[in-house]
Structure 1
Amino acid sequence: MTKKQMIALLITMIITSALVSAATVMGGIWYLNKSTQTSSPDIGSVLENSPFAFLTNEDPKSEGPSFHPLEKVVLTVKGKKQTHFVMLELAVETRRPERIKDLDNYMPIVKNSLLKLFSNKTFDELQKSGSIELLQNEVKETLLVAFAETDIVQDIDDVLLTKYVVQ
């Protein structure tokens, strides 16, 4: 045999081995699923706790988005002659509401992040046309960065301003 033929034979053996292994794993999963439907639920719990559970269970997502309202936040911004107040109400959009049920426990992080964001804002910046869309994007980015070290960040699809008052 030539060197080229040996390499082709080796590659064919590796591919065949991978296909046989994959078929064996999938057949085992199929068998466990089939036997779970006709026998005791203990076998199903074995499959659910196995490393291959991701192959049998779909990711639990709700049909449409769900919105989780946050506490309102009141901040101050600098003006030319006086200090102004900004009141924000936010909502977090998610498709996994059960995973962010503890989001309210993180309100100190939310308030701190927004306080830092608005400390550099002025009243005139907030009154410009188109500032709401820009502000919404900045708030979203700020909160995603604030939640970056938590598991919640994976489940936040969007952050919406539901009320915005500048006085």
Structure 2
Amino acid sequence: MAEEAKEESTEKKSGGKGIIIILLVVMILLIIGIGVLTFFLLTSKNHEGGGDAAATAQHASAEHGDAKEEVKDGVVRSYSPKYKQYDPPEPGAAPQYFAMEPFVVNFKGQGQAKFLAVTIKFMTHYPQLVKDLENYRPMLRNDITAMLRIQTYTELNQDNGQQLLADKILKIAKADLEKNNIYPDLLEAVYFDRFVMQ
């Protein structure tokens, strides 16, 4: 009997130690898990908010010079001195428009329509830019015509086809301006006076 009592007390002692060890291991794993989770949450917030914004700002400043762009009321008021400088528009000034002659091109490939005819206007708040755009009219016309010739009826017949085309035209015009040391974001939008597919 005495031996059985000793065995029971030894089993109880070793069983208690096992539970304590298991609890310690579980607690250590929980602490490590919480630490890892906290690390990932904090680093993901830095990448979503501050990290990408800082990288974007750094990329933009490298792309457009060291000076910061100042935008008020949705209009660029000042920008990098590496570009040609224009007098800033008066607050609340009406936008100015630069009209291009109509473009008529054949559609690429086969489709229901054979021709695309568009008349566009560029919008800016800088009257001096409208005057300067006249000097770049042949370049703009050439590059826009080349882009229009590779469009297909299927692409333009989508619900947002006209807006996609306007975005492409604006991108080409901004690239042409930047090549000529004119700040591209001064050109704000493209509008269609006429958009016909026949």
- Matched with 2:127 is 97
Q: State whether structure 2 residue 143 is matched by structure 1 residue 113.
A: yes
Provide the TM-score with structure 2 as the length reference: 0.48
Task: Report the Cα offset of residue 91 of structure 1.
Answer: 1.0
> C-alpha distance in 1, partners of 2:192/2:88?
27
Structure 1 vs Structure 2 CA RMSD: 2.2
Q: State whether structure 2 residue 81 is matched by structure 1 residue 60.
A: no
> C-alpha distance in 2, partners of 1:141/1:117?
11
Amino acid paired to 2:172: T
Q: Secondary structure at the match of 1:148?
A: helix
Provide the TM-score with structure 1 as the length reference: 0.56
Task: Report the Cα offset of residue 115 of structure 1.
Answer: 2.5
Mapping for residues 73-88 of structure 1, pairs under 5 Å = 73-80=103-110, 84-88=114-118
- Matched with 1:158 is 189
Higher relative contact order (Cα pairs below 8 Å, separated by 6+ residues): 1
**Contact 1:69–1:91 (CA under 8 A) maintained in structure 2:** yes
Q: Secondary structure at the match of 2:142?
A: helix
Q: Secondary structure at the match of 1:121?
A: coil
- Distance change (3 Å), C-alpha of 1:138 and 1:154: closer
Task: Report the Cα offset of residue 83 of structure 1.
Answer: 7.0
**Contact 1:71–1:107 (CA under 8 A) maintained in structure 2:** no
**Contact 1:93–1:159 (CA under 8 A) maintained in structure 2:** yes
Structure with greater Cα Rg: 2
Mapping for residues 30-69 of structure 1, pairs under 5 Å = 59-62=87-90, 63-69=93-99
% of aligned pairs identical?
Answer: 25
Listed one character per residue, the Cα deviations across residues 67-111 of structure 1 (whole Å, up to 9, x for unaligned) are: 221222212212426872111111111111123213223222112
In structure 1, the gaps of 5 or more residues are 1-58
Q: Secondary structure at the match of 1:102?
A: helix
- Matched with 1:133 is 163
**Contact 1:100–1:155 (CA under 8 A) maintained in structure 2:** no
- Matched with 1:28 is none
Superposition misfits of 4+ residues, deviation over 6 angstroms = none
Listed one character per residue, the Cα deviations across residues 53-79 of structure 1 (whole Å, up to 9, x for unaligned) are: xxxxxx431412122212222122124
- Picking from 157, 162, 179, the partner of 1:149 is 179
Listed one character per residue, the Cα deviations across residues 120-160 of structure 1 (whole Å, up to 9, x for unaligned) are: 32122211221111111111112111222124435322222
> C-alpha distance in 1, partners of 2:139/2:126?
21
